[in-house]
Structure 1
Amino acid sequence: MGATNSKQATTVTLDLHVNEDKEEQSGIEQWVKESTEIRLMVTGKTGTGKSTLLNGIVGEKMFKEGETLKPETLTVDSHQTRRAGVDIIVFDTPGLQDGSGNEQAYLSAIKEKCVDIHLLLYCISMLETRSDLNAHNSAIKLITEALGPTIWENAVIILTYANVFERRLSDQGKNKIEKKDCFQEKINEWEAAARDSLRDAGVPNEIAQNVTAIPVGFAKKPHLVCQKYWLSNFWTESLSKMKEKAQAAMVKMSNDRFRNEEDIKPDDFDKDISDQPIVFKMLDKAVAAGAASAGAIVGMTTGALIGALLIGIPTFGVAAGAGLCLGGLIGGGIGSGGGAGVGLLVALYRRNKKKTKMMKMKKENFEQWVKELGGTPASVE
């Protein structure tokens, strides 16, 4: 996987005037200002399509697709580019799952180079079988030993070659419903296997249980039997699992790629994957009645949908609150992309604040419980 010369994108400017809550306004502005870097680690067997995957998430043709490093090369390679004012550093670990070389040397290299990883992308081909599990068990154990079990809090299991697996189901004569069932069964199988491997490697169950598997396909084949736009699903899941300090940078670097489904053109997916849009379904415009501009409407509804995905609120009526704060305040020439970007930032900021508050409450409750037992918080693991 070789790096290519990347085009320099212009810096994205977002109108962050969100609402009249000065504390929240200040918090969002500071977060966006400080979020200027993304550090990705990618690992997977040689030939699992990592180049396509990375070009898709970064939005730059950063790697030559189809070019792989020799599996016996035991090293950690780093590649860097800059997009929309965001520095993107990618750490690649070729050969980790190929069962070659000195594991201890690799362990030292990962510890030395892969510092402060914001997101780990662990790639498995959907064409692999359970006989390949031993290699993955060893790799997961090595990563856990090198970077600690908490690295998996910010990780996604990527199931590549999903289009090929789907085609094989068609060749077996399965209809659409059967294909969908078999496809989901395969995803569940790999997700369960990965979680078992994590637990065996000493990763706490509360972390392992939250690691998810996402199928991804080929660059110019955006649809899967279980997903209409696999790239958008992959991008959203990656954003959700990324460390909070890098999430705003992720939105900034992708802001020019956001599209509503109704705005998609037939040739949008004939482009390189780095130029393809991140697509979201347009919500009912009637909900946006009273918003000040078309830009505000699009931004509000797209932001609301993504807010629902990220915050996990089941009903649109409540989830729309993530985007309603933008009504009449985005507009002003920002358009649908900018509106969606601001909507995302607001939704993420509120989710993160809520999560921090809940963790603080849990800690305070735990400390009170320990005191009631006659001990001190420091005396209990």
Structure 2
Amino acid sequence: MIQDNQPTSEELKQLIAKVQYLFNEARKRNLTFLLVGRTGVGKSSTINTLMGQKLAEVGKFRPVTKSIEEYKSKIEGIPYTVVDTPGLADTSENEQEYINSIKSAIPEPDSIWFVTILGENRVRDDERKTINTISSAFGKQAWEKAVIVFTYADKVDADEYNEYFLERTKLIQEEIAISIKNTDIAQQIPSVAVANNPRGRKPLPTPDDKPWLNELYTTVIKRISDRALPSIVLATASRVIPQDTNSQEVSSSSEAEPIFLNKKQQQEIQEKLEKSNDFAGITAFVTAGAIVGFRGGSVFGLPGIVVGGAIGAATSLFISWWRRR
């Protein structure tokens, strides 16, 4: 639907060209995730839910990750790699050899997930060793791209959920602070609680009856390296839906779980994009007013413009975000 004050064909073509350029650049880069934590804590299930693909194998009765596993895939032509570790204390390999194996697979991760079960009351010795080894391998600056992911949140009683979440976050942050000798970096590491459904791909709500995929998505984007920001945003654009979007505006052909962002999460992601050199041209163009009256779907029907798929979805998403500002 095109409303009054609609952009001209030339204006919309300029915006689409900017989005196409971002896609071309993202397809030359490789988005990298490093998952750390012992086996059986739900690393594979969580990354599969976020990326919308069954990338990492999930074991029903026993852990499936026995050694360092490197998974490669593409979404909309954008390559990404997930390096899953079995937990450094789970292996009998020489520690330095293990570090070398990780760094060979992923020299500089764009996003690090420290994954652990929510309903435990202490930081385990093997987790402490993992923290120290990651600090040794990548330096304290690596924790600036880290997220603490608490799994099996649905196993915690609702009346104890907030206490577990806050206390567990504090304990892990304290261990990281000791490891890197920097309290400020450690205290800035955010945490997200997740609950994966073993019977299906749809995530379960956490005990506070809230969805978590949108919070995990927002948190990862806020913490991810600048070079990887276009990759994750463009790869997932077709699944991202502002919660205040009219149902008639929603157009996603993806079979993966949609990511519904509330206004606060939209604002946080927009602020991240506005600080990015990669997105500077797009944000400036949309917010300048030329596109403010446009309500787009994934296919544009202005004369001479027919575009759908990933480029159309991303263009529509950016328009929908910034015309709400």
> Same fold by TM (over 0.5)?
yes
- The residue that corresponds to 2:72 in the other structure is 80
**Residue 34 of structure 1: which of 22, 25, 40 is its match?**
25
- The residue that corresponds to 2:36 in the other structure is 43
**Residue 342 of structure 1: which of 315, 318, 321 is its match?**
318
Relative to 1, partners in 2 of residues 1:89 and 1:101: Cα closer, same or farther, differing over 3 Å? same
CA distance in 1, matches of 2:208, 2:287: 30
Question: Does the CA-based 8 Å contact 2:296-2:316 persist in structure 1?
Answer: no
How far apart are residue 339 of structure 1 and its match?
Answer: 5.2
Relative to 1, partners in 2 of residues 1:204 and 1:251: Cα closer, same or farther, differing over 3 Å? same
Alignment of 1:214-233 (within 5 A): 214-219=192-197, 220-226=202-208, 228-233=210-215
Question: Does the CA-based 8 Å contact 2:56-2:71 persist in structure 1?
Answer: no
Relative to 1, partners in 2 of residues 1:17 and 1:48: Cα closer, same or farther, differing over 3 Å? farther
Relative to 1, partners in 2 of residues 1:329 and 1:42: Cα closer, same or farther, differing over 3 Å? same
Query: Letter of the aligned partner of 2:271 in structure 1?
Result: I
Alignment of 1:370-381 (within 5 A): none
Alignment of 1:60-75 (within 5 A): 60-66=53-59, 73=66, 75=67
Unaligned runs of 5+ in 2: 1-11, 248-253, 273-282, 301-311
How far apart are residue 189 of structure 1 and its match?
Answer: 1.2
2:114 match: secondary structure: strand
2:300 paired with 1:307:
no
- The residue that corresponds to 1:277 in the other structure is 258
CA distance in 1, matches of 2:230, 2:51: 14
CA distance in 2, matches of 1:56, 1:88: 15
CA distance in 1, matches of 2:116, 2:224: 19
How far apart are residue 161 of structure 1 and its match?
Answer: 0.2
Question: Does the CA-based 8 Å contact 2:15-2:315 persist in structure 1?
Answer: no
Question: Does the CA-based 8 Å contact 1:256-1:337 persist in structure 2?
Answer: yes
How far apart are residue 193 of structure 1 and its match?
Answer: 1.2
- The residue that corresponds to 2:152 in the other structure is 161
- The residue that corresponds to 2:292 in the other structure is 327
- The residue that corresponds to 1:316 in the other structure is none
Alignment of 1:46-195 (within 5 A): 46-66=39-59, 73=66, 75-98=67-90, 100-130=92-122, 132-165=123-156, 169=157, 179=159, 182-195=160-173
Alignment of 1:237-276 (within 5 A): 237-261=219-243, 275-276=256-257
Relative to 1, partners in 2 of residues 1:188 and 1:107: Cα closer, same or farther, differing over 3 Å? same
The structure whose Rg is larger is 1
Identity, in percent, stands at 22
- The residue that corresponds to 2:278 in the other structure is none
CA distance in 2, matches of 1:311, 1:344: 15
Question: Does the CA-based 8 Å contact 2:40-2:63 persist in structure 1?
Answer: no
CA distance in 2, matches of 1:63, 1:142: 23
CA distance in 2, matches of 1:84, 1:103: 37
CA distance in 1, matches of 2:207, 2:313: 27
2:31 match: secondary structure: strand
Question: Does the CA-based 8 Å contact 1:81-1:89 persist in structure 2?
Answer: yes
String of CA shifts for 1:259-292, please: whole Å, max 9, x gaps: 2446799xxxxxxx971110123x6xxxxxxxxx
How far apart are residue 125 of structure 1 and its match?
Answer: 0.5
Query: Letter of the aligned partner of 1:139 in structure 2?
Result: T
Query: Letter of the aligned partner of 1:158 in structure 2?
Result: V
TM-score (normalizing by structure 2): 0.72
Instruction: Tell me how many residue pairs correspond in the alignment.
Output: 275
1 or 2 for the larger relative contact order (CA 8 Å, sep ≥6)?
A: 2
Question: Does the CA-based 8 Å contact 1:44-1:97 persist in structure 2?
Answer: no
TM-score (normalizing by structure 1): 0.62
String of CA shifts for 1:107-135, please: whole Å, max 9, x gaps: 232233221210011101012231x4322
